[in-house]
Chain A
Amino acid sequence: MGTVLLSGLAIGAVYASTALVYNVMYSTSRVLSATTGHILMLGAVFGAWFMVGFGLPTIVALVGAILVGAAFGFATEVVAIRRVLNRSDQHLWLLSTLAVATIVQQAVGLWWGTEPKPFPRVLPQDFGAGPFDQKYWLPIFVMIAIAVGLDLFYRRTMYGKIFLAMSEDAFAARARGVATDRVRAVSYLISGAIGGAAGFAAGQLTFAYFALGLALTLNGFIALAVGGLGSNVGAVIGGLALGILSTFATYFFGGEYQQTISIGLLLVVLLIKPEGLFGARKIRPV
């Protein structure tokens, strides 16, 4: 039972990290990017490749995964967001990020293969470590680091405050001399880096699997919607709740209806509070 709870927390931490990444990108661009889950996927896949394919030490592989994530985040902003935000059509960013997500998922599938590949040990440890297995604790630890790091960033650094200002009123921020285009690009870079690290940490739990992107984009989004768009506290709570719920459901009822149960959770929350548990009243139903 304890292991069930632990693995629920672990996978929940992965969902929460994804939701946090969504929030960072949303704050400066008002866009929910379909590529979010794929950033973590790249972290896992490239992390495995660096360590297994090149035999690189863990730290180097981690840095590599972060760089890959950051590059992908930045490329997403340049290709799919920047040109599209100016157009009047509301739907275009959804299409462009969906396109980029598809491209990257298929490309990785073609190159890496469509079978999930094992992710090597990051720290030396036996495989019979039970509840102390790093595959549970690494994602949890990284999620906490990300959440705390973001909080410090927003509350203690000038740049973080610029993010908040831009998120609230981009026009007024420009009038104050904030280079909003550049800040947005940097925010996508940062979210890419965060996602890369989170994906690396999650690798042993999720395996290096090309289809991970879509699964995390969806589940990370459910976590975000449950917790409340724009709230980092909500992202963490939503992610952990989702992780625990789906793991316990699998334990008690078998894993057949995991997706259905996750969506069920979302529907219940949305019916009670459409903006999510900690969300601001921004999302208005049609």
Chain B
Amino acid sequence: MKNGKGVLVLLAGVSLVALPYWAGDRYQLHLATLIGAYWVLISGLNLVTGFSGQLSIGHVGLLAIGAYAFAIVAGKLGMSPLLAIAVAGAMGGSCGLLLGLPALRLPDFYFAMATLAFGLMVTEFVLAQEHLTGGGIGIAVPGFPAPFDTPRGTYWLVLIFAAIATFLTWNVARLMWGRALISIRDSVVTARAVGVPVYRAKLTVFVFSGVSAGVGGALFASLQGYITPDTFVFDLGMFFFVSIIIGGRGSILGPFIGTVVLTALPELASPLAKLGTFLYGLLLLAVVLLVPEGVGASVQKLVARFRPGARESHVVTPDLALLAAAIARPDVASRKESLHAAAVSIAFGGIKALDNISLELLPGEIHGLIGPNGSGKTTLLNLLSGYYQPNFGSVKVGDEDLSRARVQRRPMLGIARTFQKPRLLAPLTVLDNVMLGCWRDSTAGFLTTALALPRARREDRAAREYAEKLVVGVGLAHAVGRRASLLEHAEQRFLEIARALAARPRFIMLDEPAGGLTDAEIGHLADVILVLRDAGLGVLLVEHHTDFVFRVCDRVTTLDLGKMIKHGPPAEVQADPEVIRVYLGA
């Protein structure tokens, strides 16, 4: 199938290069060139909006900056136009940085409004700095030197940049960074839990989108020949934004098709041209209400429904031997440090949630944590995994104090966890979800990834191989390529465990993993946990299912109202009168 795809891409590429010869007239060539210039911006914006979920509706401001920078530098200052493109890109990137630094810290609506305001601010600036920009009258934009000075030549120049933009963003999308960005969009909690530096990642793609907007602006301006502030109105920004949403977030092809459709649509039927932005709004509303994942994903789902084949299995069958082999590591087995909470206390609003609790999780041990409602189990787990900081006491791995370390640091320290309610990236496959867990081992930066340098491709390949073993090991071989949204509850639970294991942890903390599982599935869960223990991991099992806990654990700690009641081997805890009193009140 890969060869088939390759042939298609080749055909598409050839026809795009040959377009000036088969496209109807000059006007259509101009249109194609325009689409190319837009696409340079939109492909960058796609990473920001489509992938990392930051709804930037004012990106047109960055386009304007690139356009004016090019016009001024190449026109007024007489710099070589090709060099001027680079300047425009740099300007776009710097302004993207200036905007992104404060704006990306804001929640959704605030961020959207901030980008909107930015777009208006750019227009204000342009109008105010008349001597530089020509103010309201506008400014002429030079064309490109030979061989790019003909319509065909311009088209090929734009095609080169469009191809570069596609190449860069496609690489980011398919390698580890793409998964990381999608996790930021769909489940920030998961992103942090696997160690993704959320703010830094958002800022990086935003700056990249600034560069692509700047370059796109330069190309666009030269194509227009003359620009005024009116060229860069909110409507144009909406057009970019809507192309991505209707094409489908999380894909490269979708927004490209969206761009083509939205540019071509007003041209095909002239009555539609007058409606312009009204139509974009209507399309956006239709997509949001009817096919929120975008047209591309919905088509995919429709096709999948009609594909013949046996009814899909949802039975989880772990391959314990494979799992054991996959996670076996000499470095894990040899280290003796434990993860421990030492005399931790934490209070929320005057209520002591944990009072002088000490718990030690040794490697190669399964440690159960039980207690009735409000006992503080979840608080302790959240404390160990970095969501809370203790008021007193400390959390350490060996001698290293983690009390002040943020959640994102945990995977680097070899600490992983699962969640009470499974958190998955719904539109990605099971394999992709587990591969996200391998982020901890990804050293490839954004540029390395965008250029698909050997390191990025190597790490992706290694992650894929490892993730596959884990997926089969926990029992999801039948669903490797399935979209995570189609998984049943039990499958989701095991997927979370596989993702946690992908970070090669020394300690794994499971938050009520038996919730909603049948007896058979709990049996499989127990088998998997034992394999983890035997491989030398320290397993913390927080559970209500006391039966399961006493069966599987080496040691059990019981909490009640924030205090430790009893701690020891299961048989002792089970028979302890205090524990019985706590549960039965007798």
What residues make up the interface of A, taking CB atoms closer than 8 Å to B?
32, 34, 79-80, 83-84, 87, 89-92, 94-96, 98-103, 105-107, 110, 214, 217-218, 221-222, 225, 256-260, 262-263, 267, 270, 283-286
Cα A226 to Cα B523 with chains together (Å): 55
Cα A270 to Cα B55 with chains together (Å): 20
Cβ–Cβ < 8 Å partners of B112 in chain A: 34, 94, 98
Q: Identify whether the interface residues of A are mostly helix, strand, loop, or mixed.
A: helix
Cβ–Cβ < 8 Å partners of B275 in chain A: 106, 110
Q: Which of B113, B277, B282, B288 contacts A218 (CB 8 A)?
A: B113
Contacts A87-B292, A256-B128, A262-B117 given; does A32 touch B109 at CB 8 Å: yes
Q: Chain B 281-296 against A: per-residue CB contact (8 Å), 1 yes, 0 no? A: 1101100110010000
Q: Which of A102, A107, A259, A286 contacts B120 (CB 8 A)?
A: A259
In addition to A102-B284, A286-B202, 14 A-B residue pairs with Cβ atoms within 8 Å of each other are A34-B112, A92-B292, A95-B288, A96-B288, A99-B285, A102-B238, A106-B275, A214-B234, A218-B116, A225-B110, A257-B125, A257-B128, A259-B124, A260-B125
| Distance to closest chain B CB from A231 (angstroms) | 16
Chain B residue at minimum C-beta to C-beta distance from A271: B102
Cβ–Cβ < 8 Å partners of A83 in chain B: 289
Cβ–Cβ < 8 Å partners of A87 in chain B: 292
Interface size on B, residues (CB 8 A): 43
Cβ–Cβ < 8 Å partners of A283 in chain B: 107, 110
Chain B residue at minimum C-beta to C-beta distance from A225: B110
B278–A260 touching, CB < 8 Å? no
Does B280 make an interface contact (CB < 8 A)? yes
Chain B residue at minimum C-beta to C-beta distance from A26: B109
Cα A284 to Cα B106 with chains together (Å): 8
B53–A91 touching, CB < 8 Å? yes
| Distance to closest chain B CB from A196 (angstroms) | 21
| Distance to closest chain B CB from A89 (angstroms) | 6
B108–A94 touching, CB < 8 Å? yes
Cα A46 to Cα B238 with chains together (Å): 26
Contacts A99-B281, A107-B278 given; does A84 touch B127 at CB 8 Å: no
Cβ–Cβ < 8 Å partners of A285 in chain B: 105-107
Cα A262 to Cα B118 with chains together (Å): 11
Chain A residue at minimum C-beta to C-beta distance from B112: A94
Contacts A87-B292, A89-B292 given; does A100 touch B121 at CB 8 Å: no
Within 8 A of A (CB), among B81-113: 102, 104-110, 112-113
Chain A residue at minimum C-beta to C-beta distance from B103: A267
B57–A98 touching, CB < 8 Å? yes
| Distance to closest chain A CB from B216 (angstroms) | 22
A91–B121 touching, CB < 8 Å? no
Cβ–Cβ < 8 Å partners of A32 in chain B: 109
Cα A91 to Cα B288 with chains together (Å): 10
Chain A residue at minimum C-beta to C-beta distance from B109: A32
Cα A257 to Cα B127 with chains together (Å): 9
Cα A217 to Cα B116 with chains together (Å): 10
Contacts A84-B289, A91-B55 given; does A259 touch B117 at CB 8 Å: yes
Chain A residue at minimum C-beta to C-beta distance from B117: A263
A94–B109 touching, CB < 8 Å? yes
Does B114 make an interface contact (CB < 8 A)? yes
Contacts A83-B289, A90-B108 given; does A263 touch B121 at CB 8 Å: yes
**What are some 15 contacts across the A-B interface (CB < 8 A)?**
A32-B109, A84-B289, A94-B55, A96-B285, A96-B289, A98-B284, A99-B281, A102-B278, A217-B113, A218-B113, A221-B109, A259-B121, A262-B117, A263-B121, A285-B107
Does B276 make an interface contact (CB < 8 A)? yes
Q: Chain B 121-143 against A: per-residue CB contact (8 Å), 1 yes, 0 no? A: 10011011000000000000000
Contacts A91-B53, A225-B110 given; does A100 touch B128 at CB 8 Å: no
Cβ–Cβ < 8 Å partners of B234 in chain A: 214
Cβ–Cβ < 8 Å partners of A260 in chain B: 121, 124-125
A286–B284 touching, CB < 8 Å? no
Contacts A32-B109, A90-B108, A110-B275 given; does A103 touch B281 at CB 8 Å: yes
Does B274 make an interface contact (CB < 8 A)? yes
Cβ–Cβ < 8 Å partners of A102 in chain B: 238, 277-278, 280-281, 284
Cα A100 to Cα B278 with chains together (Å): 10
A110–B107 touching, CB < 8 Å? no
| Distance to closest chain B CB from A280 (angstroms) | 14
Cβ–Cβ < 8 Å partners of B274 in chain A: 110
Cβ–Cβ < 8 Å partners of B120 in chain A: 218, 259
Contacts A89-B292, A260-B125 given; does A286 touch B105 at CB 8 Å: yes
Cα A227 to Cα B321 with chains together (Å): 61
The 8 A-B residue pairs with the shortest CB-CB distance in the complex, in nearest-first order: A102-B281, A106-B278, A99-B285, A256-B128, A103-B281, A99-B284, A32-B109, A285-B105
Q: Chain B 44-55 against A: per-residue CB contact (8 Å), 1 yes, 0 no? A: 000000000101
B102–A267 touching, CB < 8 Å? yes
Contacts A259-B120, A285-B106 given; does A79 touch B285 at CB 8 Å: yes
Cβ–Cβ < 8 Å partners of B288 in chain A: 84, 92, 95-96, 99
Does B198 make an interface contact (CB < 8 A)? yes
Contacts A99-B284, A99-B285, A286-B198 given; does A110 touch B121 at CB 8 Å: no
Contacts A84-B288, A95-B55 given; does A218 touch B117 at CB 8 Å: yes
Cα A98 to Cα B241 with chains together (Å): 11
Identify the interface centre among A98, A101, A107, A270: most chain B CB within 10 Å of its CB: A98
Cα A222 to Cα B120 with chains together (Å): 14
Does B245 make an interface contact (CB < 8 A)? yes
Cα A151 to Cα B252 with chains together (Å): 50
Does B583 make an interface contact (CB < 8 A)? no
Within 8 A of A (CB), among B256-308: 274-278, 280-282, 284-285, 288-289, 292
| Distance to closest chain B CB from A78 (angstroms) | 11
Cα A92 to Cα B245 with chains together (Å): 11
Does B199 make an interface contact (CB < 8 A)? yes
Chain A residue at minimum C-beta to C-beta distance from B120: A259
Contacts A90-B108, A91-B53, A256-B127 given; does A110 touch B285 at CB 8 Å: no
| Distance to closest chain B CB from A104 (angstroms) | 8
Cα A263 to Cα B103 with chains together (Å): 11
Cβ–Cβ < 8 Å partners of B238 in chain A: 102
Cβ–Cβ < 8 Å partners of B109 in chain A: 32, 94, 221
Contacts A110-B274, A256-B128, A262-B117 given; does A103 touch B105 at CB 8 Å: no
Cβ–Cβ < 8 Å partners of A222 in chain B: 113, 117
Contacts A91-B53, A99-B285, A218-B117 given; does A106 touch B125 at CB 8 Å: no
| Distance to closest chain B CB from A125 (angstroms) | 33
| Distance to closest chain A CB from B181 (angstroms) | 14
Cβ–Cβ < 8 Å partners of B285 in chain A: 79-80, 96, 99-100, 103
Cα A221 to Cα B104 with chains together (Å): 17
| Distance to closest chain A CB from B530 (angstroms) | 34
| Distance to closest chain B CB from A75 (angstroms) | 12
Cα A212 to Cα B55 with chains together (Å): 22
Cβ–Cβ < 8 Å partners of B110 in chain A: 225, 283
Q: Which of A103, A225, A284 contacts B278 (CB 8 A)?
A: A103
